[in-house]
Structure 1
Amino acid sequence: MNQNGRTNKQGDKLLKMPGKFDRGPVEFESRIVEQQGQVMGIATRDVIAVAQTATIINAVETMTTCGFRRLPIVDPGTRKMRGIVTASDIISLMGGGDRYSLVTVKNEGNLIAALNESVREVMSQQFISLTPMASIQDAINLIVEKKIGGVPILDDQGVLQGIVTERDLMRLFETERSMLTVEEIMSSPLRVIGPDSPISAVTREMVKHTFRRLPVVSDEVLFGIITSTDIVKYLGTGRVFDQLVTGDVSEVMALPVRDLMSGDLITTTPNTGITQASKEMLDKGIGALPVIENSRLIGLVTEFDLVKAFAGR
């Protein structure tokens, strides 16, 4: 009980960080050429999608297998898009937001029963989209202004034609050069959580603050990063069922966050150029880099931060 008390207190705090942030306006060395070509030139065209009749667990398994953070929901015959399910929707289902009522109310706490509900129960029916005639600049504007990780592309009949993501834009910026450093664009200060915090604390923090990831910190030392994708994988790989005895959701939500983190911890430094940071993230297939100075976490640079910086926003 005492240990849990300390963990929750740490998970609630803001990590105060030193740094030199009062730099005034930034002069960009280079900017992306404002291309007016088709967004389909950089989008993924062969988009994997599932029908509304698919179960939630089927959708999550597809997201896990394909490494997706978002999955379009379409009519099987016409591929007309009906909704989209994202990692954030799954986080909400797992205790972070309003979709949790599907578990606690409709299925009386039975997680297995909830996961076998139709994906339409958790998908977002209101979504932003682009047309195939949209420009790359249109995609940048939507992703930056709406703070979303990807945008589906629909024809005038609402049929899914493709999807463009932050990572697609990052690849577009690969040849760009900037004098900006990581420190000048990183997110700071950060909300953090302790390694012994339960999954339920992580999902609540992610939904409350619309985070995709949380640094895991112990005694002001970075332990790792927990992402929404880690939680999706926890379901999609079937690991969640190893924790279930009665089927009640509380059995899995009490698992410490340290048990969900995966992969090597890759970091960067505040003086690293954003061109190098971008290349590192693309090469490693990761969405964020913790920024370390003097063995301390001082910030986080994400795909979104980099897209916004390269686009001169």
Structure 2
Amino acid sequence: MQPNSNNSDKKPADRLLKMPGTRERGPVDFKTKIAGYEGEIMAIATRDVVVAQQTTTIIQAVGIMTREGFRRLPVVDAGTRHLRGIVTVGDIIDFMGGGDKFNLVQVKHGGNFLAAINEGLREIMTPHLVTMPITGAIADAVEIIVNKNIGGIPITDAEGELKGIVTERDVMKVLATEHSGRKAEDIMNASVRVTGPDTPIGNVCREMVRCRFRRLPVVADDVLCGIVTATDIMSYLGKGKAFEQLTTGDSAEVMGAPVRSLLSGELHTITPDRNIHDIALEMIRRRVGALPVIEDSHLVGLVTEYDLVKAFSGE
């Protein structure tokens, strides 16, 4: 899809709701704060990791991630399970029109999306990634998640063989066992970028990649309609909906649909005075990575798994 030369595509996607925030973003001494959680990371990690190979096609990987509800898929050698890289939902969004990986579609395949999705994962995976050893501590995982903003960390042995993966949600489950006096308004992101329901999916992809977001609230006439996540966009491809009205296979057809077509009817919200312990439990129960904060029917912020991990680690 060619970027629009005028500014008409900016008005919904580039809106930014700026509210005064109270959260503290200073440095946290993780080793001190989480001294009680020193121990092997494998105690909370997923050991039976679903993986792909470098020759696995992009569309096959998208199918696996969509079916399993994964945000990331480690890429290993078939025989040795040596870790070679990882493909994340962010890589998929980048490939679908958000960033540099879209060149695989536009340049190598002349805009033919159907041809590009049958390329191997080596074309879009992230080869140089942060890992943890099997002897790592939970405090180490927290430090990586918060300081490097990495949502999933592969765990390898001394030979580089994949032994597990630990995610933000895994860490949050451990940290959320501690009660807290803090509320949503204390930790929420109060400067929330939003998009409109008629914004093309391709524009949303570009916004997510440019700002390094995994989700965008969808707002119409100052009313929250829903949240579109990178996983929703990937699932649009993985469940085949992207291909239902294709006639030429061109990427513009795939990514030109309005983002409203991805929204589900279910929308869960929280209020600014909600305790963060309760928020964490609700996210775990609903298996969501963020909850919008609503006050007087207006969106005032967003609380993510990342925000909660950082808040609990600083308690």
TM range (shorter): over 0.9
1: CA distance between counterparts of 2:17 and 2:152? 29
In 2 relative to 1, CA 104–176 (structure 1 residues): closer, same or farther, beyond 3 Å? same
Which residue pairs with 1:294 in the alignment?
A: 296
Which residue pairs with 1:13 in the alignment?
A: 15
In 2 relative to 1, CA 24–238 (structure 1 residues): closer, same or farther, beyond 3 Å? closer
Amino acid at match of 1:310: F
* 1:7 and 1:193 in contact (8 A); partners too: no
Which residue pairs with 2:43 in the alignment?
A: 41
The number of equivalent residue pairs is: 304
Match of 1:58 among 57, 60, 63: 60
2: CA distance between counterparts of 1:240 and 1:156? 42
1:87 Cα offset (Å): 0.4
1:21 Cα offset (Å): 3.1
Match of 2:250 among 231, 248, 251: 248
* 2:86 and 2:129 in contact (8 A); partners too: yes
Structure 1: gaps spanning 5 or more residues: 26-30
1: CA distance between counterparts of 2:91 and 2:8? 29
Which residue pairs with 2:314 in the alignment?
A: 312
Amino acid at match of 2:22: F
In 2 relative to 1, CA 266–33 (structure 1 residues): closer, same or farther, beyond 3 Å? farther
Range that drifts further, 238-247 or 180-189? 238-247
1: CA distance between counterparts of 2:25 and 2:241? 48
2: CA distance between counterparts of 1:63 and 1:162? 17
Amino acid at match of 1:222: L
In 2 relative to 1, CA 116–103 (structure 1 residues): closer, same or farther, beyond 3 Å? same
Match of 2:172 among 162, 170, 173: 170
* 2:34 and 2:139 in contact (8 A); partners too: no
Aligned-residue CA RMSD (Å): 1.8
Which residue pairs with 1:28 in the alignment?
A: none
- Give the secondary-structure state (helix, strand or coil) at the position aligned to 1:270: coil
Amino acid at match of 2:246: L
Residue 138 of structure 1 pairs with residue 151 of structure 2: no
Amino acid at match of 2:185: E
2: CA distance between counterparts of 1:257 and 1:82? 34
* 1:7 and 1:197 in contact (8 A); partners too: yes
2: CA distance between counterparts of 1:116 and 1:22? 44
- Give the secondary-structure state (helix, strand or coil) at the position aligned to 2:66: helix
1:262 Cα offset (Å): 2.8
Range that drifts further, 161-170 or 32-41? 32-41
1:16 Cα offset (Å): 3.2
Which residue pairs with 1:239 in the alignment?
A: 241
Which residue pairs with 1:185 in the alignment?
A: 187
Question: Which residues of 2 match residues 1-313 of structure 1 at below 5 A?
Answer: 8-17=10-19, 21=22, 32-262=34-264, 264-312=266-314
- Give the secondary-structure state (helix, strand or coil) at the position aligned to 1:15: strand
Amino acid at match of 1:96: G
1:33 Cα offset (Å): 4.8
- Give the secondary-structure state (helix, strand or coil) at the position aligned to 1:34: helix
Amino acid at match of 2:263: M
* 2:23 and 2:188 in contact (8 A); partners too: no
Amino acid at match of 1:34: G
Which residue pairs with 2:3 in the alignment?
A: none
Indicate the percent of aligned positions where both proteins have the same amino acid: 54
TM-score (norm 1): 0.93
Structure 2: gaps spanning 5 or more residues: 1-5, 27-32
1:8 Cα offset (Å): 3.4
2: CA distance between counterparts of 1:22 and 1:49? 37
1: CA distance between counterparts of 2:269 and 2:170? 22
